[in-house]
Structure 1
Amino acid sequence: MKSKIFKIASGLTAISLAVVRSAGANTGASGTFSVGAIVNLIVLVCAVIGLLWGIKVLSLVKGGLMSKGWQMFILGFGFLILAELVILAGKFHLAGVPDEIPAILYLLMAATWLAGINQTRKVLE
């Protein structure tokens, strides 16, 4: 299972590096992406995968006791995706966004994940 996840992650990284370069984004003076932008792209891809897996698990629990916890996890992944999109929009000069917005979204992400963990703990006790 771990090797399959590693293969998927490395493949997505290679594809994202190849595709994003040809997207006409602002790559800076040297024509290459910064390491920070690449890391943000990888985190964005992982967050989307986490969101999709969370939705799949939520559909499996079908309104049971674990449903509320998984809804919180999915909401947290949504906040993470929004934060990464805002950061990337700022790095590629697509939008002028204050630096506080991603920090607030990260805080909301952490709060919803903690609430999901707490809800899951209550159900499992």
Structure 2
Amino acid sequence: MSRIDGGGIALLLDLDDCIGCFGCEAACRETYRYPYHEDWMKVVRREPVVVDGELRQYHLVAPVLDKCRVCYEADPNPLCVTGCAAQALKIGPLAEIVPQAEGRHCAIFTA
């Protein structure tokens, strides 16, 4: 198992802001026109939970980060991020993404 060296890219999903609109998934498919039997970016709905007396519905984004790396190298502002209605996605070098997650309820995916 290798250690994370911080030199790769990271995709941050703010779990409190994501509304589960599938916009990132649609943007990825629109950009690359891959077949419907493939998933490069997938939104996964989680079961609702009660947090501090409020019902919350969380969504997870499941990216295929080797595809994200190629996309990010071609355009540092990919459509999945710029088209996110809730502005819940951010992509960039891991060293820049980690501080943005501090104090937030986020998931960070690295490649």
TM-score under structure 2 normalisation? 0.28
Higher helix fraction (1 or 2): 1
Q: Per residue, is there more strand in 1 or in 2? A: 2
TM-score by length of 1: 0.26
Rg larger in 1 or in 2?
1
